[in-house]
Structure 1
Amino acid sequence: MLESLSVPKRRVAAQFILPGGASRNVAVFLAEAAPGHTGGERLSDLLNSSGSLFIPAVDADTEAMTFVHCENLALARVAAELEPNVVDQFTIPTEHEVEVTMMDGQKLRGLITYVLPEAHSRLTDYLNNSAPAFFPVLEGERVALVNKRHVAYVETLRR
């Protein structure tokens, strides 16, 4: 009877980076469906959900169950195909190639892509938006979900 109430989940590989650079390879559990968009739940959905202070993850090396405090993650990385940039075919997104410097000195480079109303489409508008807490930076084959609380500054790069 209780099994019929459970939500089907899939196991997804991720890398969690803590302030200071310590890294853990983990597996997180994401739902097969998500409210607000087509397809399954994404790691960004889980990290940006207001109801999840701690999220369960399994350590990839030890198989130990861990409960990770989201606010204390500097960033999380997943394969790019697991975090598709959802932009409708009729909208041209704003893109910025950036270097993000974290408060502890870690740096990452990549592409920030978003769609906002034209009057509020500057990069500063996007970064100052209170939601989401984690914003995506495309790093080639991976997406880094960067916690705004741990960012020192974002520098735009020339293409």
Structure 2
Amino acid sequence: MAAQLILPGGASRNVAVFLSEAAPGYTGGERLSDLLNASGPQFIPALDAETNVMTFVHCENLALARVDAEHEPNIIDQFTIPTEHEVEVTMVDGQKLRGLITYVLPDAHSRLTDYLNNAPAFFPVLEGERVALVNKRHVAYVETLRR
């Protein structure tokens, strides 16, 4: 699957990431978010699209990764109305991205701050036709935007 990996400072690489055809916990294949948020290996193999060289990416050092939205479906129960926030995320290095954060949490803990504090290491931000998987370790702050 094609992905854009972005480092702190903005340097990026287009790569092909190798995912499993099955994923635990839901129907369908493994997603990049599954791989990035896994408690297992810290390095993931990726084939550099420009040089055709195999690269081993240290996940913790990625600022974010972008993929087409079709490869990161938002797995939310169809009978539950999700909470949505249009946000601007500012990274520690000054990079900014705008998009939509969507989640489902119990009413008593459904604030954006609850989600951000409990979200996995890489949380999704929908940017139109793409999804940015943002590494919380590289986020300076998240601002809500008016809708």
Match of 2:67 among 67, 73, 78: 78
Distance 1:139 1:52 in 2: 28
Give the Å deviation of 1:90.
Answer: 1.0
Distance 1:88 1:127 in 2: 20
Flag structure 1 segments of 5+ consecutive residues without an equivalent.
1-11
Q: 2:135 maps to which residue? A: 147
Match of 2:82 among 76, 81, 93: 93
Distance 1:37 1:66 in 2: 29
Distance 1:21 1:87 in 2: 31
Give the Å deviation of 1:82.
Answer: 0.2
Match of 1:117 among 96, 101, 106: 106
Distance 1:37 1:138 in 2: 20
Q: Following TM superposition, where does structure 1 have runs of at least 4 consecutive aligned residues deviating by more than 3 angstroms?
A: none
Percent of residue pairs bearing the same amino acid type? 88
User: The residue matched to 1:105 in structure 2 has which SS?
Assistant: coil
**Count of matched residue positions in the alignment of Structure 1 and Structure 2:** 147
Distance 1:116 1:59 in 2: 37
User: The residue matched to 2:19 in structure 1 has which SS?
Assistant: strand
Q: 2:94 maps to which residue? A: 105
CA RMSD in angstroms, aligned pairs only: 0.6
Give the Å deviation of 1:52.
Answer: 1.9
Amino acid in structure 2 at the alignment position of 1:97? E
Amino acid in structure 2 at the alignment position of 1:24? R
Largest Rg, 1 or 2: 1
Matches of residues 37-76 of structure 1 in structure 2 within 5 Å? 37-76=26-65
| TM-score, length of structure 2 as denominator length | 0.99
Q: Deviations over 1:52-83 (max 9, x none)?
A: 20000000011100000000000000000000
Give the Å deviation of 1:44.
Answer: 0.1
Q: 2:19 maps to which residue? A: 30
Distance 1:25 1:140 in 2: 19
User: The residue matched to 1:30 in structure 2 has which SS?
Assistant: coil
Give the Å deviation of 1:140.
Answer: 0.3
Q: Deviations over 1:1-34 (max 9, x none)?
A: xxxxxxxxxxx00000000000000000000010
| TM-score, length of structure 1 as denominator length | 0.91
Amino acid in structure 2 at the alignment position of 1:122? R
Flag structure 2 segments of 5+ consecutive residues without an equivalent.
none
